Amino acid sequence: MDLDKKHLVKLANMQMPFGKYQGRVLLDLPEEYLLWFAKKGFPTGELGFLMQLLLEVKINGLESVLQPLRQAPNSPRLKPE
């Protein structure tokens, strides 16, 4: 999967669809949670790609780059495809 602007927007707005952090925006997932997935295996498909990308963003301290891409608090959040 190639990196596209839509992936960055999804990182800033899409909700985690399952697990301990279900409903939390991907950008707000703790780095430790992403590291756990890195050891156990990321989900398949777009969600796994986004989680791997987010781990790289967090490891490199680039979360602030994604902050301006967040939608307004009352806007509907993106759901995984």
Q: Check if the beta carbon of residue 52 is closer than 8 Å to that of residue 41.
A: no
What CA–CA distance (Å, rounded) separates 55 from 77? 21
> Is 7's pLDDT higher than 60?
yes
> What is the mean predicted confidence (pLDDT) over 69-75?
71
Local confidence band at 3 (pLDDT 50, 70, 90 cut-offs): confident
What CA–CA distance (Å, rounded) separates 41 from 21? 17
Q: Where are the beta strands (DSSP E) in 1-81?
A: none
> What is the mean predicted confidence (pLDDT) over 14-26?
96
Local confidence band at 4 (pLDDT 50, 70, 90 cut-offs): confident
